[in-house]
Structure 1
C-alpha cells in the first residue's frame, strides 16, 4: 500500500509540476485552460498568473514529491492545506454563484489531492524533532 500511495502522490506531483511550469512559461495559454484571461491590463494579469499559479502548483509539487520520495507525512501538510483551501473556495463559489460548465472537474482533482494526501499523512510516519532540552 505504501508503494501505491507513493506512486499516486508522485503522479499528482508530476501533474502539478507540469501545471506550474506551464504557468511560468505561457501563462496566457495555461490561464485559458482554467477559464482565465489576462483582461485589459494584460501585463498585470499575466504577471499575477505567472507568479501566483506557478507558486501554488510548484510548491505543492515540490512538497508532494519530497513526501512521496521519503514517505513522510509531515511534509505533505503544506500541499494538503493548499488543495483543501482551493477546494473550499470552489465549493463556496458553487454555493454562492452556482454551477457552470465543467465545474466538477477541478473540484474532483482537488478532492483527489486532499484524499490521497490525507491518507498518506495518516499512514506515513512523521519526523520527530529532538529537543535540545531533555528532562530526566
Structure 2
C-alpha cells in the first residue's frame, strides 16, 4: 500500500510540475485554461510568479517527499491545496457557482486527501534524526 501511495503522490507531483512549467513558460495560455485573464505586463508577471510558485512548491514537496519517503513534506501541499479548497468554498457560498467549479474543487480535495493519507502512512523525519 505504501508503494502505491508513494507512486500516486509522485504522479500528482509530476502533474503539478507540468502545470508550474506551463505557467512559467506560457502564463497567458495556461491562465486561460484556469479562467484567468491577464491584464498587462504586471498581471502576466503575477500569474507567472504566483502560479509557478504555488504549483512548483507543491510539486517539489510531493516528489521529494515521495522519493525520500518523508511524510512531513506532504503537509506543505496539503496546506496549499486545502487553502485553495476553502477559498473556492467561500467563493461558492458568497458569489455562487460557475462552470467547472466541481472539477477544480475535486482536484484540490483529492490532493488534500492524498497528502494526508501519505502523511499518515509514510515515515516522519524529525529534525533530530536529520541532524544526527
TM superposition score category, shorter chain reference: over 0.9
1:61 corresponds to which of 26, 44, 59: 59
Greater per-residue helix proportion: 2
1:119 corresponds to which of 117, 124, 132: 117
Matches of 2:33 and 2:72, distance apart in 1: 32
Q: Across the two proteins, how many residue pairs are aligned to each other?
A: 129
Give secondary structure in 1 for the equivalent of 2:128: coil
Structure 2 gaps, min length 5: none
Matches of 1:103 and 1:130, distance apart in 2: 43
Structure 1 gaps, min length 5: 132-136
Following superposition, the deviation at residue 14 of structure 1 comes to: 0.6
Q: TM-score, normalising length from structure 1? A: 0.92
Following superposition, the deviation at residue 76 of structure 1 comes to: 1.0
Superposed structure 1 runs of 4+ greater than 2 Å apart: 128-131
Following superposition, the deviation at residue 29 of structure 1 comes to: 0.2
**1:21 and 2:18 correspond:** no
Q: TM-score, normalising length from structure 2? A: 0.94
